[in-house]
Amino acid sequence: MNFSKELLAETEYVNRVIAKYLPAEEGFQKTVISAMNYSMKAGGKRLRPLMMYKSYLAFGGDEAVIEPFMAAMEMIHTHSLIHDDLPALDNDDYRRGRLTTHKVYGEAMGILAGDALLNYAYEVMLQAFDMTEYKERVVRAMRLISSKTGIYGMLGGQCTDVENDGRPLDEALLNFIHIHKTSALIEAPLAAGAILAGASEEQAEQMEQAGRRIGLAFQITDDILDVTGDEKTLGKPVHSDEKNGKTTYVVLKGLKKSRQTAEALLREASDIMTASGGSTEFLCLLAESLTGRRK
Amino acid sequence: MNFSKELLAETEYVNRVIAKYLPAEEGFQKTVISAMNYSMKAGGKRLRPLMMYKSYLAFGGDEAVIEPFMAAMEMIHTHSLIHDDLPALDNDDYRRGRLTTHKVYGEAMGILAGDALLNYAYEVMLQAFDMTEYKERVVRAMRLISSKTGIYGMLGGQCTDVENDGRPLDEALLNFIHIHKTSALIEAPLAAGAILAGASEEQAEQMEQAGRRIGLAFQITDDILDVTGDEKTLGKPVHSDEKNGKTTYVVLKGLKKSRQTAEALLREASDIMTASGGSTEFLCLLAESLTGRRK
């Protein structure tokens, strides 16, 4: 099977897994559940659960225990998108061509649906203890994911980004923001997938390091496309960083150097994953596909 | 030791435990950590971690494993307060006589600090796996707490309350809201404390049932005090329910019947706790003290 076909097939599987773990829209509280599911069903590349699943397979995992983790990973990511879109943060009315959650359900429900998705991710991960004999791996995976989600991960990056909004950033601060805001939720699925499959500490650490580089490359590519892309192909407005006075890699380093850095980071990520000894061929191709990503 | 002295001593212990588990205010993300700690240090009765600790002792618990759970319980509660105070929800500028989190740190940081506290509660609970041989109890306690926090618990109640804001409510809906919004985070510490101490399923269920009644009594008392209390003694504005057109127990049932119901619920809660066979004397007194609560 070639990469594109495999990507399509696996994404369909990921979507089925996610659908299986969504809460039923019933009870007095059904509106918030609808809001959660509205956001979860908005589509997107499902990159994080896909990476988690492929990392799990790469290290020989063969149990259903990965499934609640895949769904939880997407719930955490979606939680961050819902709150990121709120008026007090990015104030976005549209995402992936659909109205954002708070535009459909109101701001209060947007806040609470985001909270509910974050919490539900843990409810779902806790189900995993009944699905494997390897309880210790579940604990380790949950620890890693929770750490990469919170103040030492994605949320720490979000807050630092918010706090420095509109200010010029130096490279150290820009890296901190992207390593936390973007890389952390790539590191988490890659390393947690490996951990759940029984990979060694060292292998999990390698997947985490690869994830860090993929996240950064992903972000730099995003910055580049905001300058060079066109709105139709990307499906979102371009030149938004410039308009918002945002410091990006392109601003700090220029286009050429940014492209080189993104490519170097992806090469490093592939080398690290290959060196880990896992069957990471698909993940290497997936990482590569991200620099040339189109909608 | 009499009840008041014991309450004071134990609350001081609870405060020390909470302080121990707060994240250090350092790094590029230190503002959000300050915002989390600002909210956590705002004081309050620490009722939930106190109840958890006393329930743990009541069933013979004697390990430090209860401490991360106590801190996490207060983090979850504080998360709900921060988000509840936001402009899109209750829009409160003050809580416990201090400016609310979003008034001090801005609305974006208020949203993210709330998220961060909810997530950090899980990071802290996950530490508990290293503090006891009884890993299965940690899993059960985490499951209970996560369920009582999310859409089938507190957040489900919050959303239903928000959605029906300003509308007249019937008794079924009012009960649903309070059982979820208020009781759930009383049920969680009482039952989780018992579980962590090794109580049986039945005993944990009894503590949960007692918590449900205590939470409802707590809420009815709050409704009563909003009508009969005075601002100075309570430390918060009175007649706010009437001003906001809120359906309360007092509106539905009248003052006399509301008082009777609150007392009956507390008696039931005490009877259930006593029947559980745990040493719940302090918890019974604590529950009783809630109907006559003054600031």
Residue B75 lies in a domain: yes
- State the Cα–Cα distance between residues B30 and A163, nearest whole angstrom: 10
- Give the H or E element holding residue A33: helix A30-40
pLDDT value, residue A172: 95
- Residue B87's Cβ-count burial label (10 Å; 0-12, 13-18, 19+) is middle
pLDDT score, position B146:
98
Q: Is A31 on the interface with B (CB under 8 A)?
A: yes
Decide if B69 contacts B141 (C-beta within 8 A): yes
Range of the domain at A234: 3-291
First to last CA, chain A: 22
Whether residue B294 is contained in a domain is answered as no
Q: At which residue do the structure tokens 């005075």 appear?
A: B230
> Is A30 touching B (CB cutoff 8 A)?
no
> B99 in helix, strand or coil?
strand
Rounded to a whole number of angstroms, the distance from the CA of B282 to the nearest CA of chain A is 31
Average pLDDT value over all residues in chain A: 94
Q: pLDDT (tens digit, 9 = 90+) per residue, A9-39?
A: 999 999 999 999 999 999 999 999 999 999 9
Q: Is residue B185 part of a domain?
A: yes
Cβ–Cβ contact B146 with A under 8 A: yes
Q: Check if A118 contacts B (Cβ < 8 Å).
A: yes
User: B160 in contact with A at a CB cutoff of 8 Å?
Assistant: yes
What average pLDDT does the segment A34-51 reach?
95
Interface test with B, best of A22, A103, A117, A123 (most B CBs within 10 A): A123
| Angle (nearest 5°) at CA A69 between A64 and A70 | 90
- For residue A171, the chain B residues in CB contact (below 8 A) are none
> CA of B288, closest CA in chain A: separation in Å?
31
Q: Does A26 touch chain B (CB under 8 A)?
A: no
Give the CATH number of the domain where residue A70 resides: 1.10.600.10
Q: Do residues A120 and B121 lie in contact, with contact meaning Cβ atoms separated by under 8 Å? A: no
Is B17 a member of any domain?
yes
In a domain, B295, yes or no: no
**pLDDT at position B293:** 47
pLDDT in tens, A224-241: 998 888 777 776 777 777
Alpha helices (H) along A91-200: 101-105, 107-127, 135-149, 154-163, 171-178, 184-197
Say if the Cβ atoms of B150 and A120 lie within 8 Å: yes
Taking an 8 Å cut-off on Cβ atoms, the answer to whether A129 and B139 are in contact is yes
**Domains contained in chain A, number:** 1
In a domain, residue B111? The reply is: yes
Q: Which residues pair with B95 in a beta bridge?
A: B98
pLDDT computed for residue A295 by the predictor: 36
The complex's ipTM works out to: 0.96
Contact A146 B122 (CB under 8 A): yes
Percentage of residues in chain A having pLDDT higher than 90: 86
Tens of each residue's pLDDT in chain B, 295 residues: 699 999 999 999 999 999 999 999 999 999 999 999 999 998 889 999 999 999 999 999 999 999 999 999 999 999 999 999 999 999 999 998 899 999 999 999 999 999 999 999 999 999 999 999 999 999 999 999 999 999 999 999 999 999 999 899 999 999 999 999 999 999 999 999 999 999 999 999 999 999 999 999 999 999 999 898 877 777 677 777 777 778 899 999 999 999 999 999 999 999 999 999 999 999 999 999 876 643 3
Answer whether B155 sits within 8 Å of A36, measured CB to CB.
no
pTM here is 0.96
Judged by a CB distance cut-off of 8 A, whether residue B173 touches chain A is: yes
As a whole number of angstroms, the distance between CA A270 and CA A291 comes to 13
- pLDDT-based confidence at residue A294 (cuts at 50, 70, 90): very low
| pLDDT classification of A291: cutoffs 50, 70, 90 | low
Task: Return the closest-CA partner of residue B88 out of B6, B169, B184, B165.
Answer: B165
Pairing of strands B94-95, B98-99: antiparallel
Residue B233 has a pLDDT of: 72
Nearest CA in chain A to B158: A112
Q: For residue B249, is it within any domain?
A: yes
Enumerate residues 46 to 85 of chain A having a beta carbon within 8 A of any beta carbon in chain B: 79, 83
